[in-house]
Amino acid sequence: MDESNLEKLAELVKDFNGIDKTRNSLTYRPGTRLVRGYSGVEKETGAISAPIHMSVPYVHPSFDESTGFGYARYGSPTRLELENTIAMLEGGLKAWAFSSGMAAISALVKLFVPGDHIIVSDDLYGGTYRLFTTIYGKYGLEFSYVDTSSLEILTKALRPETKAVFIETPSNPMMHVTDIRAVAELCKSVNALTIVDNTLLSPYFQRPLDLGADIVVHSGTKYLGGHNDIMSGFIVIADKRFIEPFFTFTMSEGAVLSPFDSWLTLRSLKTLALRMEKQQENAAAIAAFLKPHRKIDRVFYIGDPDHPGYGISRRQTTGFGGMISFYLKDKDQVRPFINRLKLILFAESLGGTETLLTYPVLQTHGAIPEDLRNAVGVNEKLLRISAGVEDPADLLEDLDQALNF
């Protein structure tokens, strides 16, 4: 984009104060907000389901007038309704919808310049590690991977050039819980940003911006989409100073969500509360079944009162989510166990209606070097389950028969 366009953009967003926080939709409780979205019923036609606007260019009524839309890479009505709904759900000022979680995280990194140092949770999605290290490491950014659930370790990792702390909480797959409020306070004291990947709990169970975080990022492919059929990603900001940079990144790079996938995500959000409650219920049943099982060494589930982060979770979330990781006693039992599963699907994702089992060392976390993986406990005995919405009795029966060898 040339200088004059940047100036125009800065002019355009200068007076943009984010979503209208006095809207009716914001007076409702979370479950209702999810069903009705930001705008609710469309005024012109009375459509209850948000219209899908497929147009790429938008006509300007006259030389001096605009509808607010010009070209779909910059913004389009269906995407905007989704973005406003996500901003509302996270308690943010503005959100942007991307074509994947990785596209959102990649846009986020562009806030930083060569020489900047970013502290990252050492237990995190392997693709995020790969993006930071392999791609952005080449552009002069430095990343340190530490256990952000320990404030002491985190404080020791700070440097004068630290510009942000990027946390996954609960972390994926070891389920470490980081105290978001404590990290945000620490970051504010050293002028660094707190960025939270909120994929695993969604805004239905956790709202990091309310706890002092500056930016929330999502793989919307997971719980927000929720049916294993849409890829999407989101950035949500708390503060006006990020409006201009993220408008510039999205309109310049164009890794934006299509109108159809925006609509499908809006449709999915209507059932987020139902899905998350059911997935949580199923996860709790699975964790309770696995914990005492003779073939299981350890279970990592944040809803377990024995989990070290249980107290923090009770304070900072309204639920424990649908993810469980566990060690089999013997790594040689991983293959027969997976091969014996009949209902639970051996596949690489999470957050959808179908219960999935993942083998992190081979799948989601294959990009992380072995020594770093082993140091955080992602080893050959570790398996991860994303609970779906099936009847829990069928899930337990399947686990029972698959472990019975």
Q: Per the structure block, which two tokens stand in for 18? A: 């984010």
| Active-site residue identified among 38, 122, 123, 125 | 125
Please report how close the Cβ of residue 97 comes to ligand PLP at its closest, in angstroms. Answer: 12
Q: Is 197 a catalytic residue?
A: yes
Please report how close the Cβ of residue 368 comes to ligand PLP at its closest, in angstroms. Answer: 13
Q: Is 130 a catalytic residue?
A: no
Please report how close the Cβ of residue 53 comes to ligand PLP at its closest, in angstroms. Answer: 23
Please report how close the Cβ of residue 17 comes to ligand PLP at its closest, in angstroms. Answer: 29
Q: Is 139 a catalytic residue?
A: no
Number of residues that bind ligand PLP (CB under 6 A): 15
Q: What is residue 256's DSSP assignment?
A: B
- Give the integer Cα–Cα distance in Å for 191 and 203: 25
- Give the integer Cα–Cα distance in Å for 165 and 208: 13
Does the footprint of ligand PLP cover residue 279 (CB under 6 A)? no
Does the footprint of ligand PLP cover residue 197 (CB under 6 A)? yes
| Active-site residue identified among 23, 73, 110, 340 | 73
Q: Per the structure block, which two tokens stand in for 9? A: 């953009």
Q: Per the structure block, which two tokens stand in for 228? A: 């294993």
Please report how close the Cβ of residue 124 comes to ligand PLP at its closest, in angstroms. Answer: 7
Query: Looking at beta carbons only, is 254 or 336 nearer to ligand PLP?
Result: 254
The neighbouring-strand residues paired with 284 are none
* Candidate ranges 70-78, 122-130, 206-214, 293-301; the one touching ligand PLP (CB under 6 A): 122-130
In terms of Cα–Cα distance, which of 394, 276, 401, 245 is closest to 336?
401
Please report how close the Cβ of residue 207 comes to ligand PLP at its closest, in angstroms. Answer: 17
Burial of 40 (0-12, 13-18, 19+ CB in 10 A): middle
Residue from 76, 133, 194, 199 touching ligand PLP (CB under 6 A): that is 199
Does the footprint of ligand PLP cover residue 101 (CB under 6 A)? yes
Maximum CA extent, the chain: 74
Handedness of CA 199, 205, 210, 211 (dihedral sign): negative
Query: Looking at beta carbons only, is 127 or 208 nearer to ligand PLP?
Result: 127
Does the footprint of ligand PLP cover residue 127 (CB under 6 A)? yes
In terms of Cα–Cα distance, which of 338, 362, 354, 335 is closest to 395?
354
* Candidate ranges 123-131, 151-159, 257-265, 366-374; the one touching ligand PLP (CB under 6 A): 123-131
Q: x-or-dash pattern for ligand PLP, window 164-193, by CB under 6 A?
A: ----x---x---------------------
- Give the integer Cα–Cα distance in Å for 332 and 380: 9
Does the footprint of ligand PLP cover residue 203 (CB under 6 A)? no
| Active-site residue identified among 79, 222, 373, 384 | 222
Place of tokens 């957050």: 351
* Candidate ranges 96-104, 139-147, 335-343, 379-387; the one touching ligand PLP (CB under 6 A): 96-104
Which residue's CB atom is positioned nearest to ligand PLP?
101
Helix (H, G, I), strand (E, B) or coil at 150: coil
In this structure, the strands spanning 162-168 and 117-121 are: parallel
DSSP string, 4-25: HHHHHHHHHHHT---S-TTSGG
Residues numbered 208 to 227 that lie near ligand PLP (CB under 6 A) are 219, 221
Interhelix angle 3-14/243-253, rounded to 10 degrees, is 130
Handedness of CA 244, 262, 26, 236 (dihedral sign): negative
Please state, in angstroms and as integers, the Cα–Cα distance from residue 249 to each residue in 82, 183, 198, 239, following that order.
Answer: 18, 27, 21, 17
Query: Looking at beta carbons only, is 211 or 216 nearer to ligand PLP?
Result: 216
Please report how close the Cβ of residue 104 comes to ligand PLP at its closest, in angstroms. Answer: 8
DSSP string, 123-185: S--HHHHHIIIIIGGGGT-EEEEE-TT-HHHHHHH--TTEEEEEEESS-TTT-----HHHHHH
* Candidate ranges 27-35, 98-106, 254-262, 271-279; the one touching ligand PLP (CB under 6 A): 98-106
Please report how close the Cβ of residue 128 comes to ligand PLP at its closest, in angstroms. Answer: 6
Q: Are 148 and 167 in contact (CB under 8 A)?
A: yes
The residues annotated with a catalytic role in the active site are 73, 125, 197, 222
State the residues that interact with ligand PLP by CB under 6 A: 100-102, 125, 127-128, 168, 172, 197, 199, 219, 221, 231, 233, 364
